[in-house]
Amino acid sequence: MQVAIGKSVLAGIAIGPLHIYKKKAIPQIEQYSSRTPAQEWERFEIACEKANQVLLELYEKALAEMGEENAAIFEIHRMMLEDEDFLDAIKEMLKNQSSTAEFAVSMVGERFSATFAAMDDEYMQARASDVKDVSGRVVGILTGQQQETILLLQPAILVADDLTPSQTIQLDRSRVLGFLTRHGSSNSHTAILARTMNIPALVGVDFDDSWDGKLAVLDGYDHCVYIDPTPERLSEMQERRKKDLEQLAFLQALRGKQNRTLDGREIKVYANIGDTQDVELVLQCDAQGIGLFRSEFLYLNAQDWPTEEQQFLYYQHVIKAMEGKKVIIRTLDIGADKQADYFRLDKEDNPALGYRAIRVCLTREEIFRQQLRAILRASAFGNVSVMFPMIISVWELERAKAILEGCKTELHKQGIAIGALEIGIMVETPAAVIIADELAAQVDFLSIGTNDLTQYTLAIDRQNPRLDRFYDPQHPAVLRMIRHVVEAGHRHNCWVGICGELGAEQTLTETFLRMGLDELSVAPSAVLPLRRLICSLDLSKKQ
């Protein structure tokens, strides 16, 4: 048995023969042209029109099979064909180097792809393959070499150096058991499509041509592939695959249904996300909404301040994808262990107790207003709530709400539509717990951030591994605080949830529900097990 390691795109098990796809050799491209630059530009424009038509067909296919969010990949490719920097660079090569259109597209595509690949941000790195896909399509049209469609004669685990989104969408899904690629990333559009199609996949696998046709097990949980597995390993993986299928069947039975205990109590199960890409996972697990959208990841992944328009499009993408389900956006929670250089935050001796979250927003109001305007604009496209982090006093909450109201007034005056908006806060400190009655009187919901609440209650830095044995998120003091917040919230007609790691702790689920918690928001991978457990509980029985 041979074992190779990769990076998992989708946790799951695939068992079957390996099929190695090899690209056909690219014909040599003529560099210099006997035509005029104007004639070559005309050839390029005609090729772009043909490429645009093919991409439109791929968009419609993806829209029908996988929804608008995934079809948007091909809209992005069409936009690349209209990118001014891309077009200007090609025009310059045609004019100054007398090159053929295909050579110019190939060189410019390589240059742009290399620029993306060299970026620090993983998402932007993944765009390198999109540039290659688009430029390769245009070059293929110019040279008469259309992009290949991969054909599988039998169900197999597909192995390739890399796969383009257009190749992926055209695959016969009934015959693709899994993907293995040498290149690519978990943020690539091909990887996104693989997750959407629920196909286990690994990237970064250094495969060998001798694997072709051999039996293999792709283990997306442990990020590896077994070639010619031993009978024992094969049997073990077959059992895990069987459990996966049972879990999938259970999800299908729950899809679209409420999460109710046996005695009829309805509990909301939401998912936490940190990026727009996580929405696919939320939809796959059929969470009832997003209970924590960590908006700071947009800032952390940027090299400079994201504009209001960039933020609006970022939020709008998630909101539209959720199709009316609740999306709770936590306002900027920067500082402490989450730093972005362009914020120029001073180094602090005790950052966990320092300048962070709402404290940054209330002292740098222009940043806050810009984000709130973007959230309000996006709220017109779905069911949105806004949540303020690290609130410890009534005046902070009142000031945050006043700024929000000011943004609403501005937008109304500009004739910009906004939706109805619930307002909530994160309860993360003992101070917020103690004055929970006063805070609950001013909001629609309270969401308990158990990670920080535990840290501040126990006076333990949760980032310090030396203190792991002392860090107890199930400490009686923490649980009593949670109960206190639930009771205070309900006295003021607020719903109360948990959006920290403790919400996924199944040994506490029944305890939380008996306390009266209305909502649990957890990582997407924890949604299905939690839903299953909730549906098996009978809270009418005495403990």
Distance CA 353, CA 392 (A): 12
**Which of 337, 344, 383, 385 minimizes the C-alpha distance to 367?**
344
Burial class (CB in 10 A: 0-12, 13-18, 19+), 239: exposed
For residues 155 and 14, is the Cβ–Cβ distance under 8 A?
A: no
Distances (CA, A) of 99 to 41, 84, 92, 312, 354: 10, 19, 10, 41, 58
Measured distance CA(202)–CA(190) in Å, rounded: 11
Phi, psi torsion values for 501, nearest 5 degrees: -60, -30
Largest CA distance in the chain: 88
Distance, CA of 502 to CA of 473 (rounded, Å): 7
Give dist(CA 430, CA 481) in Å, integer.
8
The Cα-based distances of 71 to 55, 81, 150, 240 in angstroms read 10, 17, 20, 32
Q: What is the DSSP string of 497-510?
A: EE-SGGGG-HHHHH
d(CA 349, CA 134) in angstroms, rounded, equals 49
Q: Which of 100, 66, 313, 84 is nearest to 197 (CA)?
A: 66
Would you tell me how many other CB atoms lie within 10 Å of the CB of residue 332? 26
**Helices 68-80 and 189-196, packing angle to 10 deg:** 160
Task: Name the helix (H) or strand (E) containing 15.
Answer: strand 13-20
Can you name the residues that pair with 16 across neighbouring β-strands? 216
Q: Which residues are known to be catalytic? A: 189, 499
Nearest to 40 by CA among 116, 121, 115, 96: 96
Query: What count of other Cβ atoms lies within 10 Å of the Cβ of residue 475?
Result: 15
